[in-house]
Amino acid sequence: MAAAFRPKKLDIMGNLTALMVRDHTKRQVFAQHEPERQALRYIIRNETLPQRVRAQAQLQLSQMHAYTRSTQIRNRCVETGKARAVYRNFRLTKMQFRMQAYKGELPGVKKASW
């Protein structure tokens, strides 16, 4: 079972931590199983279908692995692996964002002055 959830490739800049690997794995598994989850949710909500079919779909959805849920994904910094104060567009914590912006390593970002 664990072999199915191994990440293929990590595209990170900094040190690799177990939390970063787990987050990457969760993102891959979620992307792989999301169409199936959407189909099951559609069947469950469709009131024109028989109750037995809807109940079977609900049972299948509840038995899916936890990593297939979108709530399991946590935005983490690709540099440090921290989960707090992460800017989504850059996937960096605010301190890493500031340091890289000052160095000019982020394209299109510069210090504000007015």
Question: What pTM did the predictor assign?
Answer: 0.68
Q: Give yes or no for residue 30 having a pLDDT over 50.
A: yes
pLDDT at position 1 is 43
- Mean local confidence (pLDDT), 11-28: 78
In a domain, 1, yes or no: no
Q: Which domain holds residue 93?
A: 79-114
Q: Give yes or no for residue 5 having a pLDDT over 60.
A: no
- Mean local confidence (pLDDT), 31-47: 94
Do 19 and 62 share a domain, yes or no? yes
Do 88 and 60 share a domain, yes or no? no
Do 84 and 106 share a domain, yes or no? yes
- Mean local confidence (pLDDT), 103-113: 84
Structure confidence at residue 14 as a pLDDT band (50, 70, 90): low
Do 23 and 50 share a domain, yes or no? yes
* Distance in angstroms (rounded) separating the CA atoms of residues 35 and 41: 10
Domain count, the chain: 2
Q: 97 to each of 85, 88, 102, 107, how far by Cα in Å?
A: 10, 11, 9, 12
Dihedral sign of CA atoms 11, 14, 18, 19 in order: negative
